[in-house]
Amino acid sequence: MTYEFEGRTEKEAIDLAAEELGLEKDGFDVEILETQRSGLFKKGFVKIKVHTDKPVRYNPAKSSDLPANDDDDEARQRAADREQFNQAVFGDPEAKTDFERKLIDFMETLIRHMGYESSVSVLFREDRKIGLKIDSDSSSILIGKKGKNLDALQLLANIYAGRQGEEGTRIILDSENYRIRREESLVRLAYTVADRVRDSRTSILLEPMNPFDRRLIHTTLNDIADVETKSEGEGLYKQVRVYYRGSMR
Q: What is the pLDDT of residues 184-193, one digit of tens each?
A: 899 999 999 9
Question: What was the pLDDT predicted at 222?
Answer: 86
Question: What was the pLDDT predicted at 2?
Answer: 78
Question: What was the pLDDT predicted at 107?
Answer: 96
What does the pLDDT look like over 119-168, one tens digit per residue? 999 998 888 889 999 999 999 999 998 889 999 999 999 999 999 999 88
Going from the C-alpha of 124 to that of each of 48, 82, 211, the distances in angstroms are 29, 17, 21
Is it the case that residue 64 has pLDDT exceeding 70? no
The span from the CA of 217 to the CA of 96, in Å, is 35
Question: What was the pLDDT predicted at 37?
Answer: 53
The reply to whether the predicted model has a pTM over 0.75 is: no
**What is the rounded average pLDDT for all residues in the chain?**
80
